[in-house]
Amino acid sequence: MTPTLQLAFDLIARRSVTPDDDGCQALMMERLAAAGFNNEELRFEEVENFWSRRGTEGPLVCFAGHTDVVPTGPEGRWSHPPFTPTIVDGLLYGRGAADMKGSLAAMVVACENFVRKHPNHKGSIAFLITSDEEGPAKNGTVKVVETLEARNEKIDMCIVGEPSSTNAVGDVVKNGRRGSLGAVLHVHGIQGHVAYPHLAKNPVHIAAPALAELAAEHWDEGNEFFPATSFQISNIKAGTGATNVIPGELEVVFNFRFSTELTADILKERTHAILDKHGLSYDIDWNLSGEPFLTARGPLVEASVQAIKEVTGRDTELSTAGGTSDGRFIAPTGAQVLELGPCNATIHKLDEHIVAEDLDTLTVIYERILELLLA
């Protein structure tokens, strides 16, 4: 068993279902302290986080990630118990194997190896680890970043260990993410008897043309790194349950995934313009999960592309597809942010697994990136 796999086993065996950490961070901090890192525990309400740094100079290269995992679903339907890491036919099974305890193990071992070979490396290396990525994400990375900003401690480059790869480790690196803007729209009408519609005002009828226009709207073209912005309605509800009642109110839940061609404010304005044009009486609760971000070519992208090529022979693809990650909290500070981790085919599923030796490959890639940036 390699050091990375051993550490991955030790992390997966801890039942750190979000927001519980269940000792994962203590284990990581112990290893990092032994490698010359200074640990700082940063607890916000019930969420455990830590910041760990080796060195005082710039540039500061940070590894970021989360120790929490999503719930297992029915444990009896797993081929192997989700918190009993198991390797069968070269595949490592366990909750968090891909998302993202495997990456955490690879990061720690990569740093141990790098520091052993380069004890007087340039710049600084840091870890920003939370146990609140899979949950509400209110007391995790966002709060740690606020703490760092308040004391003007700047991350220059950040590798997030989210499982970015598609078919083979390193084939895809995420160099940005689309923004996510959600909303709950309430359209107000007047409840009444379906037989007396002149005494009522049906919010379903009033809203339907406006919703059709929102759904058909061409928001942007996207750009070199981003697909076109998409608008999706995820729920509509109205009605009292009775067939003879015109509902008094309609609720619509929708979400934008948007490119760097637009901002959340522009999307809000354009949505209001369409709703207003149709004369709706309404209110909207907006929820911005994150503005889009992009890390264009630069030292971190170059080092990662080169390291992946050297270690695996692969030409990596830069992509901004997929869901949001905690990179959205780090990028606004001006840091270059990349997501580089194992394959994501089974994340959040029953029987989550990855190719076990991919974690050793990932360890060498992370170490090589450090060498290219800080040796």
Say whether the peptide bond before residue 100 is cis (omega within 30 degrees of 0).
Answer: yes
The residue with its CB nearest to Zn ion is 99
Q: Which stretch binds Zn ion (CB under 5 A): 31-39, 162-170, 207-215, 364-372?
A: 162-170
The question of whether 20 is a catalytic residue gets the answer: no
Total of chain residues touching Zn ion, rule CB under 5 A = 3
Give CA–CA dist 343/98, Å, rounded. 7
Q: Which is nearer to Zn ion, 100 or 108 (CB)?
A: 100
99 scored as a contact of Zn ion (CB under 5 A): yes
Return the number of other C-beta atoms located less than 10 Å from residue 255's C-beta. Answer: 16
Q: Which is nearer to Zn ion, 214 or 347 (CB)?
A: 347
Q: Which is nearer to Zn ion, 162 or 358 (CB)?
A: 162
In sequence order, the 6+-apart residues with CB closer than 8 A to the CB of 61 are 123, 124, 125, 126, 156, 157, 158, 159, 369, 370, 373, 374
Write out 114-132 in H/E/C secondary structure: HHHHCCCCCCEEEEEEECC
156 scored as a contact of Zn ion (CB under 5 A): no
In angstroms, what is the minimal distance from the CB of 135 to Zn ion?
11
Q: In terms of residues, how long is the chain?
A: 375
Across the strands, what pairs with 17? 69
Give CA–CA dist 197/176, Å, rounded. 50
In angstroms, what is the minimal distance from the CB of 142 to Zn ion?
15
Is residue 162 within 8 A of residue 217, CB to CB? The reply is no
The question of whether 133 is a catalytic residue gets the answer: yes
Q: Which is nearer to Zn ion, 125 or 347 (CB)?
A: 347
100 scored as a contact of Zn ion (CB under 5 A): yes
Q: Which stretch binds Zn ion (CB under 5 A): 37-45, 109-117, 159-167, 226-234?
A: 159-167
339 scored as a contact of Zn ion (CB under 5 A): no
In angstroms, what is the minimal distance from the CB of 295 to Zn ion?
18
Write out 19-43 in H/E/C secondary structure: CCCCCHHHHHHHHHHHCCCEEEECC
Q: Which residues are catalytic?
A: 68, 133
Residues of this chain that bind Zn ion (CB under 5 A): 99-100, 162
